[in-house]
Structure 1
Amino acid sequence: MQWYVKVLQNYAGFQGRARRTEYWMFTLISVIISAILAILQSAAHLSLLLTGLYSLAVFIPGLAVAARRLHDTGRSGLWILIALIPFIGAIILLVFMCLDSQPDENQYGTVPK
Structure 2
Amino acid sequence: MRGEVLHFDEAQGFGFISGADGNRYGFAHEDLRVRASLSKGTQVEFQPSGGQAKDVFVFRPHGHSAVPQVPTQFGRHADPQATVLVQEPAAGNSTGLWSFFWRGLTSNYANFQGRARRKEFWGYFLFYYLGIIVLLFAGLLIDAALGNFHPEIDTDSVPVVTMVVLSVFVLGTIIPGIAMTVRRQHDIGLSGWFYLLILIPSIGGLIIFVFSLIPSQKHDNRWGPVPAGITIPPPYVPVAQA
Would the TM-score normalized by the shorter structure come out above 0.5? yes
- Equivalent residues in 2 for 1:2-41 (5 A)? 2-8=99-105, 9-41=107-139
Cα-Cα RMSD: 1.1
1:52 aligns with 2:149: no
Give unmatched runs, 5+ long, in structure 1.
none
Paired letter, 1:110: P
Task: String of CA shifts for 1:37-58, please: whole Å, max 9, x gaps.
Answer: 1112222234311111011111
Distance in 2 between residues matched to 1:66 and 1:6, nearest whole Å: 14
Identify the residue that residue 71 of structure 1 maps to in structure 2.
186
* Higher strand proportion (structure 1 or 2): 2
Distance in 1 between residues matched to 2:114 and 2:179, nearest whole Å: 10
Q: CA deviation at 1:23?
A: 0.6
Q: CA deviation at 1:4?
A: 0.7
Task: String of CA shifts for 1:16-71, please: whole Å, max 9, x gaps.
Answer: 00011011010010000001111122222343111110111111111111100000
SS in 2 for 1:61: helix
Give unmatched runs, 5+ long, in structure 2.
1-97, 144-158, 231-242
Which stretch shifts more, 40-49 or 4-13? 40-49
Superposition TM-score, scaled by structure 2 size: 0.45
Which stretch shifts more, 67-76 or 5-14? 5-14
Distance in 2 between residues matched to 1:11 and 1:107, nearest whole Å: 21
* Higher helix proportion (structure 1 or 2): 1
Instruction: Report the count of equivalent residues.
Output: 113
Distance in 1 between residues matched to 2:224 and 2:209, nearest whole Å: 22
Paired letter, 1:31: Y
SS in 2 for 1:26: helix
Identity across matched positions, percent = 37
Distance in 2 between residues matched to 1:22 and 1:81, nearest whole Å: 21
Which stretch shifts more, 88-97 or 39-48? 39-48
Paired letter, 1:34: I
Distance in 2 between residues matched to 1:73 and 1:79, nearest whole Å: 12
